[in-house]
């Protein structure tokens, strides 16, 4: 699944380098979902935001790291801070550590998002509670670059409890899973720090998936769809079939 399936070109008033970044991204092929999992390039993404509602929150920063051939590529990371016209409140600053000066001196959203597209390409995207980050990035892409987002992300929060039911439960937050597997993160509640923590857990998903007969990204997406359907049915009080 690609990050974007439909696109609307930038206006002619946009700087040439931004139009070129979008053009180059659009020319890339989407991910091959039939290759073995260990050969699949994944990009794990996290955003820090001004609030908890992805429909209205501002994106403060975005971080990402790549998983390639079964390992986290620490030489392939991305983190940028977006310029804010007005800083977030003190409570938000305490959580994310993005102070007023750093928010004011961040980069324009269009520059950050064009750089993100150049970094990420068109891989399989991964997140923890991925719908939140996908929604935030999608809104930002529409506003800054005129791109209409579509496409599925793999969600570690959905896959991990299904593959490791003996180690944790659905609904657990990221920190609880890190503790369950005795994994150490760094710079938690920063975009790159949380992306790296999620990537470590995604490696566990990739290692366990073959035991369930899952050998390529198609299998992970199929499992995720099944799990989400069951969750929706359970919330609606519909017995599992």
The domain in which residue 165 lies consists of 6-235
- Is 157 domain-assigned? yes
Q: What is the CATH number of the domain that holds 227?
A: 3.30.420.10
Identify the pLDDT of residue 137.
94
- Is 240 domain-assigned? no
Other Cβ atoms less than 10 A from the Cβ of 237: the count is 6
Buried b (16+ CB within 10 A) or exposed e, 85-101: eebbeeebbeebebeee
Identify the pLDDT of residue 220.
98
pTM above 0.75, yes or no: yes
- List of E strands, 92-225: 124-127, 147-148, 154-155
Q: Which burial class, exposed, middle or buried, applies to 226 when counting CB atoms under 10 A from its CB (0-12, 13-18, 19+)? A: exposed
How many Å apart are CA 101 and CA 89, to the nearest integer?
A: 13
Six-digit token string for 64: 């990402």
Identify the pLDDT of residue 11.
53
What backbone phi and psi angles, to 5 degrees, belong to 223? -60, -45
Q: Which burial class, exposed, middle or buried, applies to 121 when counting CB atoms under 10 A from its CB (0-12, 13-18, 19+)? A: middle
- Is 208 domain-assigned? yes
- List of E strands, the chain: 6-7, 42-49, 59-68, 71-81, 124-127, 147-148, 154-155
- Is 241 domain-assigned? no
- Is 100 domain-assigned? yes
Identify the pLDDT of residue 88.
62
- For the chain, 241 residues long, the average pLDDT of each consecutive 10-residue run is 43 79 91 94 93 89 94 93 73 60 76 96 95 94 83 94 94 94 80 95 97 96 96 72 49
Residues linked to residue 62 through DSSP beta bridges, in sequence order: 47, 80
- Is 218 domain-assigned? yes
Three-point CA angle 174, 71, 158, nearest 5°: 35
- Is 47 domain-assigned? yes
Q: How many domains does the chain have?
A: 1
- Is 1 domain-assigned? no
How many Å apart are CA 235 and CA 121, to the nearest integer?
A: 36
Tell me which residue has tokens 């992300």.
Answer: 153
**How distant is the alpha carbon of residue 234 from its chain centre?**
26
Identify the pLDDT of residue 83.
87
């Amino acid at each position: 699944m690609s990050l974007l399936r439909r696109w609307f070109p930038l206006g002619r008033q946009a700087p040439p380098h931004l139009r070129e970044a979008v053009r180059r991204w659009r020319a890339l092929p989407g991910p091959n979902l039939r290759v073995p999992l260990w050969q699949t390039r994944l990009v794990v993404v996290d955003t820090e935001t001004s609030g908890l509602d992805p429909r209205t929150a501002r994106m403060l920063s975005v971080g990402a790291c790549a998983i390639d051939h079964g390992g986290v590529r620490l030489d392939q990371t991305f983190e940028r801070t977006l310029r804010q016209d007005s800083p977030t409140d003190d409570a938000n600053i305490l959580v994310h550590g993005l102070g007023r000066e750093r928010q004011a001196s961040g980069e324009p959203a269009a520059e950050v998002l064009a750089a993100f597209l150049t970094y990420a390409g068109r891989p399989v995207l991964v997140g923890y509670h991925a719908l939140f980050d996908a929604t935030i990035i999608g809104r930002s892409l529409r506003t800054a670059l005129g791109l209409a987002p579509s496409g599925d992300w793999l969600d570690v929060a959905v896959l991990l409890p299904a593959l490791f039911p003996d180690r944790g439960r659905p609904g657990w937050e990221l920190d609880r899973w890190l503790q369950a597997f005795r994994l150490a993160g760094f710079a938690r509640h920063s975009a790159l720090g949380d992306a790296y923590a999620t990537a470590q857990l995604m490696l566990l998903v990739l290692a366990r998936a073959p035991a369930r007969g899952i050998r390529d990204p198609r299998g992970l997406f199929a499992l995720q769809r099944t799990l989400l359907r069951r969750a929706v049915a359970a919330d609606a009080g519909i017995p599992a079939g």
